[in-house]
Amino acid sequence: MRKPKPFIVISFILYFSVAICAVFFSWQHYYQSRLNTSQLQLQQFSQHFLTQIDKYAFIPQLLAQNKRLTNTLLEHKNSAQIEVTNRYLEQINQLVNTSDIYLIDQKGNTISASNWKDKATFIGQNFSFRPYFQQAISGQNSQYFALGSMSGLRGYYYSSPIIHAAEIIGVVVVKIQLSTIENNWNDQQNHFVVSDNNHIVMMTDQDSWLYKSLIDLPQSTLLKIQHGRRYLDKQISSLGFIGNLSNQPIEIYINGQQGLYHRYMSVSQYLPKQDLNVRILTPKMLVVWDVVSVLFIFTLMAILLFFIVLFYRQRKIRLLQIERIRAQANQELEFQVLERTAELHTEIHTRIQTENALRQTQDELIQTVKLAVLGQMSASISHELNNPLAAIRSFSDNAQQFLLKNDNEKVQKNLERISELTVRMAKISQQLKHFAKRTSANDLINANVAIVIKSAYDLMQPELKVQGVHVALILPTDPIMAKVNPIALEQVIINTLTNAIHAVSDQEQKHIELELKANQDGIKIDISDNGCGIRSDQLDHLFDPFYTSKQNGLGLGLSISQQIMQSMKGSISAKNKDSGGAKFTLTIPLSK
């Protein structure tokens, strides 16, 4: 059998220790808190009860001074006077919102009442047995609680003597209902009880407690209560509470009922003027539920804390395991790194050699394309050179003839023409030599783009003449500087011009426009022609390697041109013009 881990045992011991302390202190706190709440409710309800009771106490005293009531008692056989008084009392009763107002003579007989219209009118009833009449007829203002002898409903009675010529001739009584006071109680947990001097419940929020005594009463007291007819013929049974009701505060419980559900914490206040006790009863089970809620929350927090600590312990153990595994892995990794490093050195050396070979091959390919372009232009260049050579021969022969004739002036002119022709041939040769020069695409310098375009144009001049193509060269007057490889850019322009010459070969009027312009987005070289344009299925593959629409083409010119432009951080694009023909655009970033 596995033994429990020390961590778990210590956690449970700590939990139960703290839980016991939490239960003890929370019980003390909530017990006192419930008592304080009950005490506050007692003061509020007592004040409310007294306010409602005292609100009507002055009414019978004022009515006792009314001459109309005095005259009615003196002339109680005058039916007209009685009727006027009945209406007056009815009017006053409605005005002050009481239950009943009635006038009693010296013998206890009611001679006038506000309910004179009702079937159960008080007129003619004798209330001499009521303590409120007995006290008032003896000259004292009185307040009294009892069940109505006619209605059987609870009422609170105010009475005042009516004095005429220093003699008490009658009593005026005002009755109110107590249900409005009860309805103001809205606490669903605590209970209130208003009881008389015999602890009989006259007001409460628990209907089953009405007209019952809180404690067991002696038989003699029950007979006295029955004789006084305060509660008419109701049998006064006992609620069976056990406890000294005179103590403050106290704990009481229902006799024979076990468990906390039948135990109450009680606070009370005695109202001497009304001879009544107001009591607030708080079920002790509420304190238990408060403590249980604290214990429940504490348990949840303890469980959460336990799992957090457990999680971090497990995490720490797992991290230690990971560290050990990582240390082993690091050792293995170091060996693998050493092995891999040696392999990488070999791979890097091989890749460098491959890239150098690739770069060399690319440069060779570019150079080959250059030479291919020169080969394509060889016929026109040969023609361009043959004409000066024939002219030089003609001028030299003429010069010999002029020498024989001693015409030195004409000899001088022929020699000048021969010199001009040799300069022209040297210039063509220099352009060819410059174009054929081997360069790297990465050799970038700040150069005037217009000069590069002019050089390419001059180099293409023989071919343009042979093909009969007119070129409109549009160059700005101000220099436009860019970081380019002049020879490589010149090759791209020549490649593009060559494609344009082929495109217009079938046109009667062969026209090409070469325009240089610059804005804030960069430098643009537009080369457009009036040929037949580019088919839509060719546009997407125009710059693919080995893709060509020419019968004997290699499909490398535009592909290499694109690579050259990309090496200068530029681009080349093509589209068809709306007016017919194709337009190639070379884009180069501005020099910073």
DSSP per residue over 66-85, as a string?
-HHHHHHHHTTT-HHHHHHH
Distance CA(315)–CA(320), nearest Å, equals: 9
Taking alpha carbons only, the member of 66, 67, 47 closest to residue 55 is 47
The answer to whether the Cα torsion of 102, 105, 106, 107 is positive or negative is: negative
Residue 201, domain extent:
181-286
3-class secondary structure for 480-530? CEEEECHHHHHHHHHHHHHHHHHHCCCCCCCEEEEEEEEECCEEEEEEEEC
Same domain, 78 and 171: yes
Same domain, 82 and 211: no
Give how far the C-alpha of residue 461 lies from the chain's centroid of Cα atoms, to the nearest Å: 72
Last residue of a domain, one of 180, 198, 232: 180
Q: What element of type H or E holds 584? A: strand 582-588
Task: State the pLDDT at residue 48.
Answer: 84
User: Do 462 and 376 form a contact (C-beta atoms < 8 A)?
Assistant: no
CA-CA distances (angstroms) from residue 22 to 11, 30, 67, 303, 539? 16, 12, 71, 15, 85
Coil, helix or strand for 543? Answer: coil
User: Do 279 and 193 form a contact (C-beta atoms < 8 A)?
Assistant: yes
Coil, helix or strand for 147? Answer: strand
Distance CA(265)–CA(25), nearest Å, equals: 18
Task: State the pLDDT at residue 119.
Answer: 86
Distance CA(194)–CA(260), nearest Å, equals: 23
Q: Which two tokens stand for residue 178?
A: 């107590």
Please check whether residue 489 lies inside any domain of the structure.
Answer: yes
Cβ neighbours of residue 311 closer than 8 Å, sequence gap 6 or more:
none
Task: State the pLDDT at residue 77.
Answer: 84
- Residues 386, 390, 391, CA angle at the centre, nearest 5°? 115
pLDDT tens for the chain, residues 1 to 592: 455 567 778 877 887 888 888 888 888 888 888 888 888 888 888 888 888 888 888 999 999 999 999 988 888 888 889 999 999 999 999 998 888 999 999 999 999 999 989 888 889 899 888 888 999 999 999 988 888 777 778 888 999 999 988 899 999 999 988 776 777 777 777 888 888 888 888 888 888 888 888 888 888 888 887 777 787 778 888 887 887 777 778 877 776 566 666 788 888 888 888 888 888 888 888 888 888 888 888 888 888 888 888 888 888 888 888 888 888 888 888 888 778 777 777 777 777 777 666 666 555 555 555 555 555 555 445 545 555 665 566 667 667 777 777 777 777 776 776 776 576 566 556 655 555 555 555 678 888 888 888 877 877 777 788 788 898 888 888 888 888 888 778 878 888 888 888 888 888 888 999 999 888 888 999 999 988 888 877 777 777 766 566 655 555 667 777 788 888 888 888 888 888 888 999 899 887 6
Burial class (CB in 10 A: 0-12, 13-18, 19+), 185: middle
Task: State the pLDDT at residue 87.
Answer: 92
Same domain, 201 and 279: yes
User: Do 126 and 102 form a contact (C-beta atoms < 8 A)?
Assistant: no
pTM of the model: 0.47
Task: State the pLDDT at residue 271.
Answer: 87
Task: State the pLDDT at residue 373.
Answer: 55
What amino acid occupies position 488? A
CATH number at residue 559: 3.30.565.10
- Residues 396, 401, 403, CA angle at the centre, nearest 5°? 90
What amino acid occupies position 302? A
Distance CA(265)–CA(27), nearest Å, equals: 14
Residue in the structure block whose two tokens are 């006053």: 92
Task: State the pLDDT at residue 161.
Answer: 95
Please check whether residue 79 lies inside any domain of the structure.
Answer: yes
Please check whether residue 487 lies inside any domain of the structure.
Answer: yes
Q: How many domains does the chain have?
A: 3
What amino acid occupies position 361? T
Same domain, 240 and 224: yes
Q: Which two tokens stand for residue 345?
A: 């050195």
Task: State the pLDDT at residue 333.
Answer: 81
Please check whether residue 120 lies inside any domain of the structure.
Answer: yes
Distance CA(554)–CA(372), nearest Å, equals: 10
Same domain, 161 and 188: no
Give how far the C-alpha of residue 8 lies from the chain's centroid of Cα atoms, to the nearest Å: 41
- Residues 279, 281, 287, CA angle at the centre, nearest 5°? 150
Same domain, 171 and 226: no
Cβ neighbours of residue 82 closer than 8 Å, sequence gap 6 or more:
72, 76, 111, 112
- Helix, strand, coil share (%) of the chain residues, nearest 5: 55, 20, 25
Task: State the pLDDT at residue 112.
Answer: 93
Please check whether residue 349 lies inside any domain of the structure.
Answer: no
Distance CA(318)–CA(324), nearest Å, equals: 10
Cβ neighbours of residue 212 closer than 8 Å, sequence gap 6 or more:
200, 201, 236, 237, 238, 239
Please check whether residue 117 lies inside any domain of the structure.
Answer: yes
Same domain, 67 and 170: yes
Burial class (CB in 10 A: 0-12, 13-18, 19+), 266: buried
Task: State the pLDDT at residue 222.
Answer: 83
Task: State the pLDDT at residue 170.
Answer: 93
Please check whether residue 427 lies inside any domain of the structure.
Answer: no
Same domain, 156 and 280: no
User: Do 108 and 126 form a contact (C-beta atoms < 8 A)?
Assistant: yes
DSSP state of 207: G
Distance CA(583)–CA(555), nearest Å, equals: 19
Task: State the pLDDT at residue 105.
Answer: 92
Partners of 158 in beta bridges: 143, 174
Same domain, 176 and 236: no
Task: State the pLDDT at residue 224.
Answer: 83
Same domain, 161 and 270: no
Last residue of a domain, one of 180, 197, 213: 180
Q: What are phi and psi of 321, to 5 degrees?
A: -65, -40
Same domain, 227 and 121: no
Same domain, 128 and 188: no
CATH number at residue 238: 3.30.450.20
Give how far the C-alpha of residue 202 lies from the chain's centroid of Cα atoms, to the nearest Å: 58
Q: Max CA-CA distance within the chain?
A: 189
Distance CA(241)–CA(262), nearest Å, equals: 9
Last residue of a domain, one of 129, 148, 180: 180
Distance CA(176)–CA(314), nearest Å, equals: 75
Please check whether residue 232 lies inside any domain of the structure.
Answer: yes
